[in-house]
Amino acid sequence: MPLALVLDRGPHQLAVVHVHNDASMRHVELILRPWTEVDAPALTQAIAESVEHLRPWMPWAAAEPIDLERRRAWIRETAVGPDRVYGLWLDGRIVGGGGLHRRIRHAGLEIGYWVHAAFLRRGIATEAVRRLCAEAFDDEAVQRVEIHHDRANVASGRVAAAAGFELVGERPDERKAPGEEGIECVWRLERARYARAG
């Protein structure tokens, strides 16, 4: 359960979120920061440990495993945009990833995220989405953020609802991953609603 937010940002750190670690009753910090090439081995390991959990929902997981040089090349590509992609760390360990993607038009960004299989149901995705929303709306040109997921991925729907998004529609979509049923759910958070929730 989240306990507090620290909004101060360092030069390479998007945010620090204090979360409650139920197993040890300690407070630990969820850190969001851009990936660096140094992260490639640990990121590769985290994905390998989670790939069976990710494959049903993440099209990119079908290509896993990839070698370290390809991982480093991907990190270099993300560093120059146009998307903003971050790693999630908890207690010094990679627990997932998230990003702001220019997949939608009309002053909007799409949020994507994944969580390590060993760290599910701890509120990590919800807190990461909240921080990504704050980052998105720091840009005055951004008027809305969206989360898109297949209807069969009910966990992503719970994350979107918990983060304050509103389900605005369902539409047929190509099945891009094996767990999908081919119906895309679109969740939206408008700038005005975000500001009111303040």
- pLDDT band at 21, cuts 50/70/90? very low
**How much is the pLDDT for 25?**
33
User: Residue 180 corresponds to which tokens in the numbers above?
Assistant: 């999908």
Phi-psi region of 7 (alpha: psi -120 to 50; beta: other; left: phi over 0): alpha
Q: Is 146 helix (H, G, I), strand (E, B) or coil?
A: strand
Q: Which of 2-11, 70-79, 80-89, 125-134 has the lowest mean pLDDT?
A: 2-11
CA 77 distance to own-chain centroid: 18
* Separation CA 175–CA 150 (nearest Å): 8
Domain boundaries, the chain: 2-197
Side chain identity at 164, as an amino acid letter?
Answer: G
Tell me, what's the pLDDT at 28?
66
CA angle 165, 184, 1 (to 5 degrees): 40
pLDDT digits (tens, 9 = 90+) for 28-87: 689 999 999 999 999 999 999 999 999 999 999 999 999 999 999 999 999 998 999 999
**Whole-prediction pTM value?**
0.86
Spatial CA neighbour of 129 closest among 82, 88, 91, 80: 88
Give the Cα separation of 154 and 84 in Å (integer).
25
Q: Does domain 2-197 have CATH number 1.10.4190.10?
A: no
pLDDT at 24: 37
The angle, 0 to 180 degrees and rounded to 10, between the axes of the packed helices 40-54 and 68-79 is 100
Q: Are strands 144-150 and 108-115 parallel, antiparallel or unpaired?
A: parallel
Question: How much is the pLDDT for 18?
Answer: 44
Element (H, E) at 53: helix 40-54
Task: Tell me the angle at which helices 154-162 and 124-137 cross, rounded to the nearest 10 degrees.
Answer: 50
pLDDT of residue 106: 86
